[in-house]
Every structure is written in C-alpha cells, then in structure tokens.
Amino acid sequence: MNPAMLYTVLVIAIIFEVLGTSAMQAAQHFSRLAPTVVMVLCYGVAFFFLSYTLRYIPVGIAYALWSGLGIVLISVAGYLVFDQKLDLPAVSGLALIIAGVLVLNLFSKSTFH
C-alpha cells in the first residue's frame, strides 16, 4: 500500500476516534442513548482502521500519531463545540505535541515513507 493511502486510513481512524470521544462527552455518563450509540460506532470504525494501519506501520509510531493528533483535535473540538477554554500552558503543550508528530514523521526512519 502506498504511504499516502496508508496515512489517509490512519487519519480516518483518528477522525472517528475524535468523533467518538466527542460523542462520549455528549453521552453524559451513558445517560443519553443516541450519543452513546454514536460513540460505540465511531470507536468501532476507528479501531478497525487503526488495526489496518498496524499491518504496515510499527505500533509505537501509529499510536504516537493516533494519540498525538487525537489529543490536539479533541482539544480543538472541546474548545469549539463544548466551550472548553484552553489557557496558554495548554496551547503550548498542544504545540509541543504537534512538533513531536512532525519530528516523528519528517525525521524518523521508523515511520512508513
């Protein structure tokens, strides 16, 4: 599989993980049925696509990308959708996560290029 397609599959997994986490917030401790169902479905799709990428990308690299980008995206979603504020240390930490993901992808020989 070519690298662009493989990373597209990983991005799809990350997007569904972020949607699932957002639905978990909306589910309010599983007390709301629709967001709970959306959460379960999104996590199922996310893990399916993540598991596919693990055939080609080392688990540590795939999980670093999954978790790093997921953290940044869910923080943005929390800010935009749930009105959760981010202070300067939070934004700085998110910037460091983005920097780490970039270093991993641009300079590591462990990633799939």
- The tens digit of pLDDT for each residue in 27-78 reads 999 999 999 999 999 999 999 999 999 999 888 888 889 999 999 999 999 9
Tell me the pTM. 0.86
Flag whether 55 is in a domain.
yes
Flag whether 48 is in a domain.
yes
Flag whether 113 is in a domain.
no
* Structural domain containing residue 18: 3-107
Q: Report residue 106's pLDDT band, with 50, 70 and 90 as the boundaries.
A: confident
Flag whether 45 is in a domain.
yes
Per the prediction, the chain carries an average pLDDT of: 92
Distance between CA atoms of residues 110 and 113, nearest Å: 9
Structural domain tally of the chain?
1
Residue 113 confidence (pLDDT) above 80: no
Distances (CA, A) of 91 to 46, 73, 113: 26, 12, 29
Flag whether 112 is in a domain.
no
Flag whether 9 is in a domain.
yes
Flag whether 82 is in a domain.
yes
Return the exposure string of 45-60: e unless at least 16 CB atoms fall within 10 Å of the residue's CB, then b.
bbeebbebbeeebeee
Distances (CA, A) of 54 to 18, 25, 58, 62, 98: 19, 28, 6, 7, 21
